[in-house]
Amino acid sequence: MPKSPKARKESSKREREEGRMSEEGLNSFRKSSRTERSPSRGGERNQSKEIEEKIETVLREIKEDMAGIVEESRARRKELAAAREKEGEQEREDMLKSSEEMDKEMKTIMIREMREEIKTLRKELAAVREENGELRKELATVREEMRGREEKGQLEKADWMKRMEMIEEKMEQREKKERKNNVIITGIGAISGNVERGVEEWLEREIGVKVNKGSI
């Protein structure tokens, strides 16, 4: 027995509403998943990508399950349509009500499982972010320590440079003193030689004594 226009209209309206509810639920889930994402570096980016892939997998499975539910609902409606030809109006209404309740229960179960899965994934993402936060703190500590060592090294280097400058200055002063002493010694030697020659000439001139070099 074919469906009445009213029955066909109600069936089509119910299918459109279920399809719209399923699509709205998936869109809302995708939107909430996107808002949970945040830019990161290194390991956090990889782990976040894995979590996002898990979410996409869950969404795909949910979509497939929802498609199965819709298909099963359509099959049940066809069964109900066939049953209407044999059974009374009250029995048909009871079967339709039972089918709707079952569909509602299945959707409730799927939504509950989906929420639990999302909750678990969010916990994993929070743990990853916390771990990365600790790593950032540790990196900052290492950098601070390296900066302190670098500053200490610069101070030590400045101290060594100062000491080297002092040593070089002392060496330069000693070299100047040594050159001065050499000049003085050379001058004294020249004067001494002149004195010796003068004495030799005086002795030879005054008393007629010729003195050999090196005897004085």
Q: What is the DSSP string of 158-198?
A: HHHHHHHHHHHHHHHHHHHHHHHHHHHHHHHHHHHHHHHHH
Q: In this structure, is residue 198 part of a structural domain?
A: no
Higher model confidence: residue 106 or residue 29? 106
Per-residue pLDDT for 130 more than 80?
yes
What pLDDT, on a 0 to 100 scale, did the predictor assign at position 38? 46
Per-residue pLDDT for 46 more than 50?
yes
What pLDDT, on a 0 to 100 scale, did the predictor assign at position 1? 45
What pLDDT, on a 0 to 100 scale, did the predictor assign at position 215? 45
Candidates 105, 108, 101, 99; CA nearest to 76 is 99
pTM more than 0.75: no
Q: In this structure, is residue 204 part of a structural domain?
A: no
Cα 138 from Cα 134, distance rounded (Å) = 6
Q: In this structure, is residue 24 part of a structural domain?
A: yes
Q: How many domains does the chain have?
A: 1
What pLDDT, on a 0 to 100 scale, did the predictor assign at position 165? 82
Higher model confidence: residue 100 or residue 207? 100
Q: In this structure, is residue 23 part of a structural domain?
A: yes
Domain interval for residue 55: 5-156
What pLDDT, on a 0 to 100 scale, did the predictor assign at position 209? 54
Cα 160 from Cα 163, distance rounded (Å) = 5
Taking only the tens place, the pLDDT of each residue in 168-192 is 887 888 777 777 666 655 655 555 5
Q: In this structure, is residue 212 part of a structural domain?
A: no
What pLDDT, on a 0 to 100 scale, did the predictor assign at position 199? 59
Q: In this structure, is residue 124 part of a structural domain?
A: yes
Q: In this structure, is residue 81 part of a structural domain?
A: yes
Q: In this structure, is residue 209 part of a structural domain?
A: no
Q: Which residues of 163-193 are buried (b: 16+ CB within 10 A; e: fewer)?
A: eeeeeeeeeeeeeeeeeeeeeeeeeeeeeee
Per-residue pLDDT for 124 more than 50?
yes
